[in-house]
Amino acid sequence: MKRYPAEAIDKFTRYVLRDTAAFNWLVENGYMELVATLDAIRDDPKAFRYLMEHKHVILAAFVNSIWDDEGAFHFLMQNKAYTWAACANIINGDSKAEEFLKTAKKENFVLLAHAIQSRIHEDGDRNTSPITVLRNMLDFKKAFKKAKDEDYRW
C-alpha cells in the first residue's frame, strides 16, 4: 500500500476544491493516481480503469466505499487502509470516523473527506438544475440522432 505524505494529501484536498496549482503539483510530483481518484469519484470509468490498471487498488476501493460498496470497505479494512476507510465513512456521514482520524492526528484526511463531500454535493446539484437537465436531454438527443444516422454493421 502506497503511503502519501501530508503535503500530497493537502494538495489533493486543494485540487478537489478546484485549485489549479494543486493539480499541477500533483501531476509534476507523480501523483496522477490522486487526480484519477477524484475523476473516478465523479463517475469517470476511464479514471477508475486507470486506478486498477496501475494497481492503485486501495484508491479504487476508496472510490467504491464512498458509493456504499460494503465489499470495498471490507477490502480497505482487511488491507489495513484504515485512514482511507475512515475518510470514506466521513463522506458517508459517520461522525465516529471523523473522531478516529482526529485522534490519529490525521486531520488532513478529515479536510479531504469534507472537500470530496462538498464536491459530490456540487456535482449533484449541478446535475439536477433545470438548465442541466435540459442540456442533458439535448445531448442525449444528439447522441441518439448520431447513432441512428451512422450505419452500424455488427
Q: Each residue of 69-124: pLDDT tens digit?
A: 999 999 999 999 999 999 999 999 998 999 999 999 999 999 999 999 999 999 87
**What is the value of pTM for the model shown?**
0.80
Average pLDDT of the residues in 47-54? 97
Q: Is the pLDDT of residue 41 over 70?
A: yes
What pLDDT sits at residue 121?
Answer: 92
Average pLDDT of the residues in 28-44? 97
Distance CA 75, CA 62 (A): 9
Neighbours of 114 (CB within 10 A): 17
